[in-house]
């Protein structure tokens, strides 16, 4: 943290752009300074990505997106989540990328597959997907050390109207939270939007998991809350990259972690859905990278 150190306005900017500070991040620092005085935590400079970082992150996000797109033609009744995992593993390796979940803190597979009442972090297995299931696949690729993280819901064959509604509303939560967010807003805005939509539908927002900063590490600051927080949360400053990944339950928000130490399920066995994007905070908008 060296945000407070004085820089000569004509000296090269701290961001590495080679521009003069006064023509680069001077105003940025002034804005953050005033927000900090209002009590908002402000990002450490290590969270502000360089152009090179952004290009690297975009590349891995692009592969993640492509894989999630292609899964639409692969996922259907009769396939197992292990088969989906194997396909993603092979595709990732073919693109000279690494599947980030594999061996992450002992996670045994290349993707997370969360079916029906599974909230997140489900482990691919030999269970055959059947008509009516709803499946979340969470993919993170690493290319040249940069992470690209996203997840989507896949209906298996024809699904119930209530499952379909849950999936659509969860997607709306993600999309609206991005639309409502502006550069220099506090992260609170994200949870406010998601909570309001979920409450409107009498759904609940999972609290024990959140989104996260990402880049050269799988998880970095900030922690992205998906529900309303009273305390002032970190400011979304231009240059930051993080995920937004609301998990919405049909019933209660409470979760249980199974004995495999990964799989999170709803305590009341109700359905759960999740959608995720990695986003970049641009100068004047929030850019979806996945």
Residues that bind Zn ion (CB under 5 A): 13, 15, 17, 24-25
Nearest-CA neighbor of 127 among 65, 81, 180? 81
Asked if residues 201 and 169 have their Cβ atoms less than 8 Å apart, the reply is: yes
Q: Least distance to Zn ion from the beta carbon of 23, Å?
A: 8
Distance CA 251, CA 272 (A): 8
Q: Are 108 and 54 in contact (CB under 8 A)?
A: no
The angle subtended at Cα 102 by Cα 97 and Cα 106, nearest 5°, is 150
Shortest Cβ distance from residue 1 to Zn ion (Å)? 17
CB of 49 to Zn ion, least distance (A): 12
Q: How far is CA 156 from the centre of its chain?
A: 23
Instruction: Supply the minimum distance, in Å, between the C-beta of residue 24 and Zn ion.
Output: 3
The CB density around residue 148, as the number of other CB atoms within 10 Å, is 28
Q: Which is nearer to Zn ion, 42 or 68 (CB)?
A: 42
DSSP string, 121-181: -PPP-SPBP-TT-EEEEEEEEEETTEEEEEEEEEE-SS--HHHHHHHHHHHHHHHHHHHT-
**Whose Cβ is closer to Zn ion: residue 57's or residue 153's?**
57
Q: Judged by CB, which is closer to Zn ion: 21, or 227?
A: 21
CB of 285 to Zn ion, least distance (A): 19
Q: Which residues pair with 112 in a beta bridge?
A: 138
Are 12 and 21 a contacting pair, CB within 8 Å?
A: yes
Least distance from C-beta 286 to Zn ion, angstroms? 20
- CA distances to 156, 250, 261 from 244, rounded to whole Å, are 24, 19, 23
Q: Which is nearer to Zn ion, 126 or 283 (CB)?
A: 283
- By beta-carbon proximity to Zn ion, the closer residue of 7 and 24 is 24
Tokens for 178, please give them. Answer: 């991005």
Q: Which is nearer to Zn ion, 11 or 256 (CB)?
A: 11
Rg of the chain in Å (alpha carbons): 20
Nearer to Zn ion, 53 or 175 (CB): 53
Shortest distance, position 28 Cβ to Zn ion, whole Å: 7
116, HSE (Cβ side, Cα atoms, 13 Å):
14
């Amino acid at each position: 943290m060296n945000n407070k150190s004085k820089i000569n306005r004509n000296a090269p900017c701290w961001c590495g752009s080679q521009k003069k500070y006064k023509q680069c991040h001077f105003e940025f620092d002034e804005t953050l300074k005033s927000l900090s005085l209002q009590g908002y935590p402000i990002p450490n400079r290590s969270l502000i990505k360089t152009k090179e970082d952004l290009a690297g992150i975009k590349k891995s996000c692009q592969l993640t997106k492509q894989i999630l797109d292609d899964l639409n033609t692969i996922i259907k009744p009769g396939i197992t989540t292990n088969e989906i995992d194997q396909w993603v593993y092979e595709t990732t390796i073919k693109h000279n990328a690494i599947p980030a979940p594999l061996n992450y803190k002992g996670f045994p597979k290349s993707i997370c597959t969360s079916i029906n009442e599974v909230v997140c972090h489900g482990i691919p297995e030999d269970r055959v997907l059947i008509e009516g299931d709803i499946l979340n696949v969470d993919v993170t690729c690493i290319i040249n050390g940069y992470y690209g993280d996203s997840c989507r819901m896949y209906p298996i064959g024809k699904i119930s109207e209530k499952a379909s509604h849950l999936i659509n509303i969860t997607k709306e939560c993600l999309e609206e939270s991005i639309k409502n967010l502006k550069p220099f807003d506090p992260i609170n805005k994200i949870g406010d939007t998601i909570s309001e939509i979920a409450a409107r539908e009498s759904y609940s927002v999972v609290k024990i998991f959140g989104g996260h900063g990402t880049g050269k590490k799988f998880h970095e600051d900030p922690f992205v809350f998906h529900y309303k927080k009273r305390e002032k949360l970190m400011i979304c400053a231009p240059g930051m990259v993080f995920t937004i990944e609301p998990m919405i339950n049909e019933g209660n928000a409470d979760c249980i972690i199974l004995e495999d130490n990964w799989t999170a399920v709803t305590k009341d066995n109700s359905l759960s859905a999740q959608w995720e994007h990695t986003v970049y905070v641009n100068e004047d908008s929030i850019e979806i990278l996945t």
